[in-house]
């Protein structure tokens, strides 16, 4: 696993441990969706996410985290 992905995974695991994210949050899917958004904006709109975009992305993740199917 790459260093950035490993760091992000640990961060999300800590969020689960603190109860900020539910225990069934799909960390891999969350990280893939974040990367997908960044790639999509970069490739199709020549934009990069700024700090406010990242804050909105994190807020959206906390509000409705991707979870493992029941």
Question: What digits encode the pLDDT tens for the residues 5-20?
Answer: 999 999 999 999 999 9
Give the confidence band of 1 by pLDDT, cuts at 50, 70, 90.
low
Cβ pair 1, 42 in contact under 8 A: no
pLDDT tens profile 33-59: 999 999 999 999 999 989 999 999 999
CA 38 to chain centre: 11
Per-residue confidence (pLDDT) for residue 2, from 0 to 100? 87
Query: Is the model's pLDDT at 25 over the cut of 90?
Result: yes
Give the tokens for residue 26: 């799909």
17 vs 15: CA distance, rounded Å: 5
- What mean pLDDT value characterizes the chain? 93
50 vs 63: CA distance, rounded Å: 20
């Amino acid at each position: 696993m790459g260093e950035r992905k490993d760091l992000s995974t640990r961060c999300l695991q800590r969020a689960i441990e603190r109860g900020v994210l539910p225990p069934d949050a799909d960390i891999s899917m969350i990280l893939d969706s974040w990367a997908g958004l960044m790639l999509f904006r970069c490739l199709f709109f020549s934009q990069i996410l700024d700090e406010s975009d990242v804050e909105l992305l994190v807020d959206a993740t906390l509000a409705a985290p991707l979870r493992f199917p029941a």
